[in-house]
Chain A
């Protein structure tokens, strides 16, 4: 954790696949509840923060 680069998007969890594309792993969630759960699990695995883009997409970023 201590040597990891900061400010990188590690994962994207979205309800709307049309809004996202690109380099980071993208997870598709069926509804908000599942999205929240996936985001929480991923943030625990990656020791990173969940941010909300408020367009149905959550990103996980290491600070």
Chain B
């Protein structure tokens, strides 16, 4: 009798009259019920809270995507569903670790595989759309978007893991706090830099030097037809993108970044370009002496303020980001070796 838990022993004298067999059965049922009422709801609550926080993070991050990515309805569903899976993986890790079932934690490696697939999926979708795109997004931009989609799933997994940990050790209030903290962190980290942060964007003047179209002093393209020249002068818009420092100069020097700027401008303002009107292709060309970039576009809505806003809102691409100004110590060590 001493081996039985106190609650069981308290349940009056008839327990003592039972046979050994029924005592064992009673004990097993008791443990089972205790397990159900105590352990499972705990784990279940922890997992559910984690999954909830993770999925919420994915949906919030999808909303930010809208500027950079056309939010196809099926894309939303796909990414929400994958976000749900990612957050479930993150949340389940906590009970698996506590149980402790370390083998179960290895399934997290599956997650990495899964998310690489997401990157491929995004890349393939955008690349196949690119073929029929009049104004190209550019491979750099596509790669950037694909990588972002992969990274966001890791953020989702992290959010659900941290929230589940907080729920396990600190209860619901701690979980809510952790969830908000992680949501804010995800939002903050994934917003990224935009061109407006690193460059000044000012209106510029389009002119022709003979048949060469120019933005201020940057020569862009040779336009042969007089009628086309008049049309461009009448309907075209131009801005000058002035880098604030050498880091910014190196960033907008990147062709992929410039293609992304032209694409964003064309998305915001529309473009009069068509298959048989290649002259109206938005162009971003560099002044080789100053590093300033001139952007030319023949928009549907001729609104210079909107064009400046579009250029400023273009995300700085990961692949274009360059920081020669911060290269001091590493360059110094190389110099020491060479000199």
Chain A residues at the B interface, C-beta cutoff of 8 Å: 1-2, 36, 39-40, 43-44, 47-52, 54, 58-59, 63
- Does chain A have a CB within 8 A of B276? yes
A47 and B222 contact, CB distance less than 8 A: no
Binds A, one of B21-29, B63-71, B225-233: B225-233
Question: Looking at chain B, what size class is its interface with the partner chain?
Answer: 10 to 19
Instruction: Give me 20 other A-B pairs in contact (C-beta within 8 A), A39-B225, A47-B278, A49-B279 excluded.
Output: A36-B225, A36-B227, A39-B224, A40-B227, A43-B276, A44-B276, A47-B275, A49-B221, A49-B224, A50-B223, A50-B224, A50-B225, A50-B228, A50-B279, A51-B223, A52-B210, A52-B224, A54-B210, A58-B224, A59-B224
B225 and A48 contact, CB distance less than 8 A: no
- Does chain A have a CB within 8 A of B132? yes
Min C-beta distance of B74 to chain A, whole Å: 25
- Does chain A have a CB within 8 A of B99? no
- Does chain A have a CB within 8 A of B131? yes
CA–CA, A47 to B221, complex, Å? 17
Min C-beta distance of B229 to chain A, whole Å: 9
Given the known interface contacts A49-B279, A51-B211, A52-B211, the answer about A2 and B225 at a Cβ–Cβ threshold of 8 Å is no
> Residue of B at shortest CB range from A62?
B278
**CB-contacts of B208-264 with A (<8 A):** 210-211, 221-228
**Most chain-A Cβ atoms within 10 A of its Cβ — which of B211, B224, B279?**
B224
24 inter-chain pairs at a CB distance below 8 angstroms, sorted by A residue, are A1-B275, A2-B132, A36-B225, A39-B224, A40-B225, A43-B276, A44-B276, A47-B275, A47-B276, A47-B278, A48-B278, A49-B221, A49-B223, A49-B224, A50-B223, A50-B224, A50-B279, A51-B223, A52-B211, A52-B222, A54-B210, A54-B211, A59-B224, A63-B281
Min C-beta distance of B132 to chain A, whole Å: 7
CA–CA, A31 to B227, complex, Å? 16
Min C-beta distance of A15 to chain B, whole Å: 13
> Residue of A at shortest CB range from B132?
A2
Min C-beta distance of A19 to chain B, whole Å: 15
CA–CA, A3 to B48, complex, Å? 51
CA–CA, A58 to B275, complex, Å? 20
What are the 4 tightest A-B residue pairs by CB atom distance, in nearest-first order? A50-B224, A52-B211, A52-B224, A51-B222
Which residues of B are found within 8 Å of A63, using beta-carbon distances?
A: 278, 281
CA–CA, A2 to B225, complex, Å? 23
Min C-beta distance of B222 to chain A, whole Å: 4
Min C-beta distance of A57 to chain B, whole Å: 10
A49 and B211 contact, CB distance less than 8 A: no
Min C-beta distance of B289 to chain A, whole Å: 24
Min C-beta distance of A49 to chain B, whole Å: 5
Which residues of A are found within 8 Å of B223, using beta-carbon distances?
A: 49-52
A36 and B226 contact, CB distance less than 8 A: yes
Which residues of A are found within 8 Å of B279, using beta-carbon distances?
A: 49-50
**Most chain-B Cβ atoms within 10 A of its Cβ — which of A36, A50, A54?**
A50
CA–CA, A48 to B228, complex, Å? 13
CA–CA, A47 to B210, complex, Å? 23
Min C-beta distance of B254 to chain A, whole Å: 20
> Residue of B at shortest CB range from A49?
B278
Which residues of B are found within 8 Å of A36, using beta-carbon distances?
A: 225-227
Min C-beta distance of A12 to chain B, whole Å: 11
Min C-beta distance of B232 to chain A, whole Å: 12
Min C-beta distance of A58 to chain B, whole Å: 5
Which residues of B are found within 8 Å of A58, using beta-carbon distances?
A: 224
Min C-beta distance of A40 to chain B, whole Å: 6
Which residues of A are found within 8 Å of B222, using beta-carbon distances?
A: 51-52
